[in-house]
């Protein structure tokens, strides 16, 4: 662990320079057309520690579409709202399938494998839509309060783009409804889900807002209880086994941190007892995970000896 924060700052800078000098690998997501408009060259990293340091390098203050990183926050909100009933409706196993796969969902009678693949996040969106009178606003408020920043916003251009290209997510939601595992109206569930995916945040805001997961559920900035220690453990466990989709095994094998990616190119990694790393680089690999973002996390984790399996 680098204790001296200016040494860590220099390390982040070095990692960004090294990555930026490598040829670009991967492709920016284009199945949501608005995401394809983002420059593949942008790249940032930020580290927030539970003892109050927040540092970054590269484009760490430029907002990007958080996409599936929003699934972490949705999961926490749903756990807080309905408790253990949630686990009657969604499982906690890795899927070994692409994030938007539909095949397993029929075999398993409309019960998603876990809350961080699309089917699971749509199920969570149903819980939030059904249990909050204004779920989108509640979600945005949750994000703003965790980041301590009221300027965090929903990118309407991304939202509209997702809505008009959301057939696969609609199919997942309708299939779950056919098994009786969705309560609300499907257009409302989809609207909630696309809204949370369309939130824009930068690396610094994301790293800061997830500190509670590195601190047994307590936000170290405010001392507020965001979730129970048991639920912080559970979220971290799910992120370790499923957060990088069908690359989660390899990521655990080579890095060993609870992590979550989004098709906007963001990756967050939780270091329990220490802090949170957030990286961003839009080009994705075949699993839908940022190529350079994943390398930045693994480079830093290796450098600092960060792994939950030590
Ligand atoms: N909104 C995206 C989708 O539903 C989120 C996927 C992701 O970030 N992996 O396809």
Token output for 25: 């690998």
- For the stretch 118-146, pLDDT in tens is 999 999 999 999 999 999 999 999 999 99
The alpha carbon of 283 and the centre of ligand 1 are apart by a number of angstroms equal to: 14
Per-residue pLDDT for 1 more than 70?
A: no
pTM of the predicted model, to two decimals? 0.97
Copy the structure tokens of residue 10: 């220099």
Enter the DSSP assignment of 25. Answer: -
For 27, the 3-state DSSP assignment is strand
> 8-304 belongs to which homologous superfamily?
DD-peptidase/beta-lactamase superfamily (3.40.710.10)
User: What pLDDT digit, counting tens, does each position of 86-128 carry?
Assistant: 999 999 999 999 999 999 999 999 999 999 999 999 999 999 9
Active site residue 116: no
Q: Which ligand 1 atom is nearest residue 121's CA?
A: 4
CB-ligand 1 contact for 162 (6 Å cutoff) = yes
Q: Is 11 a catalytic residue?
A: no
- Joined tokens for residue 216: 């047994």
Domain boundaries, the chain: 8-304
Residue pair 251/294 in contact (Cβ under 8 Å)? The answer is yes
The tokens describing 73, both together, are: 């926050």
Token pair in block for residue 102:
């539909």
Q: Which of 68, 70, 135, 191 is catalytic?
A: 68
Give the mean pLDDT of 195-215: 98
């Amino acid at each position: 662990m680098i204790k001296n924060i200016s040494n860590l700052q220099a390390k982040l800078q070095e990692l960004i320079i090294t990555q930026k000098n490598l040829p670009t690998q991967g492709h920016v997501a284009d199945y949501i057309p608005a995401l394809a408009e983002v420059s593949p060259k942008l790249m940032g990293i930020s580290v927030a520690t539970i003892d109050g340091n927040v540092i970054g390098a590269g484009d760490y203050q430029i907002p990007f579409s958080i996409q599936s990183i929003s699934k972490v926050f949705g999961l926490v909100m749903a756990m807080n709202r309905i408790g253990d009933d949630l686990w009657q409706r969604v499982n906690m196993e890795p899927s070994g399938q692409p994030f938007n796969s539909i095949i397993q969902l029929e075999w398993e009678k409309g019960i998603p494998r876990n809350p961080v693949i699309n089917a699971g996040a749509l199920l969570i969106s149903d819980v939030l839509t059904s249990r909050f009178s204004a779920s989108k606003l509640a979600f945005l408020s949750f994000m703003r309060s965790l980041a301590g920043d009221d300027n965090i916003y929903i990118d309407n251009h991304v939202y509209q783009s997702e809505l008009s290209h959301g057939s696969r997510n609609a199919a997942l939601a309708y299939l779950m409804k056919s098994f009786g595992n969705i309560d609300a109206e499907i257009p409302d569930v989809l609207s909630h889900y696309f809204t949370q995916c369309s939130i824009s945040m930068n690396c610094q805001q994301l790293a800061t807002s997830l500190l509670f997961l590195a601190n047994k559920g307590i936000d170290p900035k405010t001392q507020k209880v965001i979730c129970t220690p048991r639920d912080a453990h559970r979220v971290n466990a799910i992120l370790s086994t499923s957060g990088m989709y069908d690359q989660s095994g390899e990521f655990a094998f080579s890095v060993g941190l609870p992590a979550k990616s989004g098709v906007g190119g963001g990756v967050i990694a939780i270091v329990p007892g220490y802090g949170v790393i957030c990286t961003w680089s839009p080009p994705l690999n075949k699993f839908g995970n940022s190529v350079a973002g994943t390398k930045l996390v693994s480079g830093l984790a290796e450098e600092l000896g960060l792994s939950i399996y030590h």
